[in-house]
Structure formats: structure tokens, C-alpha cells
Amino acid sequence: MSVTKKAVEKKATRAAFGDEIVRLGESNKDIYVVDIDIGKSCKTDKFIEKFPMQHINVGIAEQNGAGIAAGLATTGKIPFISTYAVFGSLRMAEQIRQEVCYPNLNVKIACSHGGLTPGNDGGSHQAIEDMGVMRSFPNMTVIMGADYHSTRKLIAEAAAMYGPVYLRFTRDAVPMIYDENETFEIGKAKQLRDGADIAIIANGDTVRLAIEAAEQLEQNGVSVKLLDMHTIKPLDVDAVKDCLDIGRIITVEDHNILNGLGSAVAEVIAEAGKGQLARIGVQDRFGESAPYEKLLEINGITVENIIAKANKLLTN
């Protein structure tokens, strides 16, 4: 794979949703968007303008939005519910369980404002449990792309597969990592580096941090394997097992350290009975109003902490 060197351009991955859903809507009239009032913020405005007959806005009523999407799906539509991650995973959690996952309907839940990215909105709006909740539901696929292009590709893949998918995007701009020709497969980790000393498994907006940490570690003679685990369910178990020979694994995520990527990887490692793991993520505490980068810092979701964890594992 080719990592774009000019990693200066930044885009929020919610913009990837706004752009890709228009492309999907053009080619398939069964693609619907179910907005829950915050369409502008979730970037569905272009879709609304072009395809009003494929758009529904239920107002501030998440539970109903999920149910309507399920009803649409029974008729062959492919609805994308669009809202913020904290509401899309929690306010409508039971509706997703009962009316989407239980009957295994073809509904996609596309959520902006994932993780700590809605920094200044405060802890009420930061989604730190969402992927863990969604991961608990049978039939659900759970995805967070690392940048604009990968997110677009994964949205397209989600639309092409049958079944419920939870997609999580950033509110804030994050660096472009991949070029637009890169391909992605749901449930298949993207290897960004191969190495022998340390394996770093990251997802979403933390992949950029993992790339930087890996570069600095390499400069100090540490050989790093780096995976972008954009799909935490179904987890690419083989890719994790391939890290077991290295034996020193670090997970990095913008999510609570409980039930997210770190937990999913831990399950594989524990069952294999070998390897050491260090998990980097939100420290099981609610956020507060602060710049996004500050919130990452107070939770240790930083390049420096990845390097520190790597060095600690190497000296064990």
C-alpha cells in the first residue's frame, strides 16, 4: 500500500459520507437517507438537494428514525440513518437491536461526531462507548475509517453488502492517509507497515498517530508492524494472530478502552494464550469541553504514549 507522503491535507471523515452517499444515491434509487434533524452537520445536504424522494427527515426522534429505516428496509430500500455517534449508538440502541439486528435488516447507521472529536461540545456529545455497544449486537458490522478516502471506500462496501452496518466518522478534519485508488475490504485489516519488534493496531482517527509513532520508532531502530483495523466487527482475527509471533501488541483507539478495538484484540490474544498487549484509548471516563487534541492528550492517546508503551513492552 502507498501512504501519501504529503500528509498535510486534512478532511473530516463525515465529509466522506456526504460525498459518497451522493455517488451511491445516483447509481441506486433504493439508497435512502434518514436524517434526524442534523443533516447539515452530518453532511447530507447535497444528497437532500439531489434526491429529495430518497430522503426522510424524522426530526429529533432517533428511535422513530431507526424504526422507519427498518420498515423501509423490509421493502428493499437501503436506508442510511444519519446522526451523531452518541445518539446513533445509544438513543436508538434498542431499536437497532430489535428492529434492525434481530430481523437482520439492511440498514446502515452512519454517524458523525465519533469518539472525542466533538471536543468543545463536551462529554454529553462525545461518543466513547458506541462501537462497543454496536459490537455486542449479533449481525452488526462495525467500522471506522482512518481518513477521507478509506471512509468513502468503506461506505461503498457497506452499501454493497447485505446487513446492518455501523459506520463512525470524525467531526474534525484528520490527515489524508491513503490515495483515492486504495481499496478496502470490510473485515480485512490494512497493513501499513511490516515489522518484527512491535505490532501497532489502530483504527479511525488514531491511525495517523500510529503512523507517526511507527516512523519515530523506526528511526530509533524499532521495527514496527502497523495495521489499520477499520473493521472491529467482524474482526480480522487472522491479522491479529499474525501479530502473535511478534508478541508485543499495542492497540490505539479514540474510544473507551472497554469493549472497543483494544478489547476485541485482547479477546484474540487471551484465547491464543500468548503475547503481551497494551491498550491506548479513553480511560473509562467521560470527557469534557476541550479541544479534541487536548482530550486525546489527557487520555494518553498520543504519539508519545504509543512510543512509551512500545519501549515498555520491549524492555519487559
Active centre residues (catalytic): 62
Count the neighbouring beta carbons within 10 Å of the beta carbon of residue 56: 17
Stretch near other proteins under the rule CB under 8 A, chosen from 10-18, 54-62, 168-176, 296-304: 54-62
Chosen residue from 1, 50, 74, 122 binding other proteins by CB under 8 A: 74
Q: Give the three cell numbers for residue 199.
A: 505490532
Asked if residue 3 binds other proteins (CB under 8 A), the reply is no
Q: Which residues in 85-103 are b (16+ Cβ under 10 Å) and which e?
A: bbbbbbbbbebbbebbbee
Asked if residue 53 binds other proteins (CB under 8 A), the reply is yes
Cis status of the peptide bond prior to 291, with omega within 30 of 0: no
- Which position has the grid cell 451523531? 84
Stretch near other proteins under the rule CB under 8 A, chosen from 4-12, 50-58, 140-148, 234-242: 50-58
E strand or H helix that includes residue 270 = helix 261-272
Asked if residue 4 binds other proteins (CB under 8 A), the reply is no
Which lies closer to other proteins via its Cβ, residue 98 or residue 120? 98
Q: Which residues in 60-73 are b (16+ Cβ under 10 Å) and which e?
A: eebbebbbbbbebb
Asked if residue 50 binds other proteins (CB under 8 A), the reply is no
Chosen residue from 40, 98, 286, 291 binding other proteins by CB under 8 A: 98
Chosen residue from 12, 33, 66, 189 binding other proteins by CB under 8 A: 66
> Whole-number minimum distance, CB 35 to other proteins, in Å?
12
Beta bridge partners of 165: 108, 141
Which lies closer to other proteins via its Cβ, residue 94 or residue 267? 94
Chosen residue from 1, 10, 26, 59 binding other proteins by CB under 8 A: 59
Question: Which residues have a Cβ under 8 Å from the Cβ of 270 and sit 6 or more positions away?
Answer: none
Chosen residue from 2, 27, 75, 315 binding other proteins by CB under 8 A: 75
CA-to-CA distance for 178 and 187, rounded, in angstroms? 18
In order of 35, 129, 270, 288, the CA distances from 285 in angstroms are 30, 10, 25, 10
Asked if residue 102 binds other proteins (CB under 8 A), the reply is yes
Chosen residue from 44, 82, 83, 95 binding other proteins by CB under 8 A: 95
Asked if residue 61 binds other proteins (CB under 8 A), the reply is yes
CA-to-CA distance for 60 and 190, rounded, in angstroms? 37
Region 17-46 residues binding other proteins, contact defined as CB under 8 A: none
Strand 141-144 and strand 231-233: the pairing is antiparallel
- Residue pair 34/69 in contact (Cβ under 8 Å)? The answer is yes
Asked if residue 123 binds other proteins (CB under 8 A), the reply is no
Chosen residue from 16, 73, 210, 214 binding other proteins by CB under 8 A: 73
Total residues contacting other proteins (rule CB under 8 A)? 28
CA-to-CA distance for 49 and 54, rounded, in angstroms? 10
- Residue pair 280/262 in contact (Cβ under 8 Å)? The answer is yes
Which lies closer to other proteins via its Cβ, residue 138 or residue 273? 138
Asked if residue 130 binds other proteins (CB under 8 A), the reply is no
Chosen residue from 18, 25, 67, 262 binding other proteins by CB under 8 A: 67
CA-to-CA distance for 297 and 287, rounded, in angstroms? 12
> Whole-number minimum distance, CB 59 to other proteins, in Å?
7
Sites of contact with other proteins (CB under 8 A):
53-54, 56, 58-59, 61, 63-64, 66-77, 79, 94-95, 98-99, 102-104
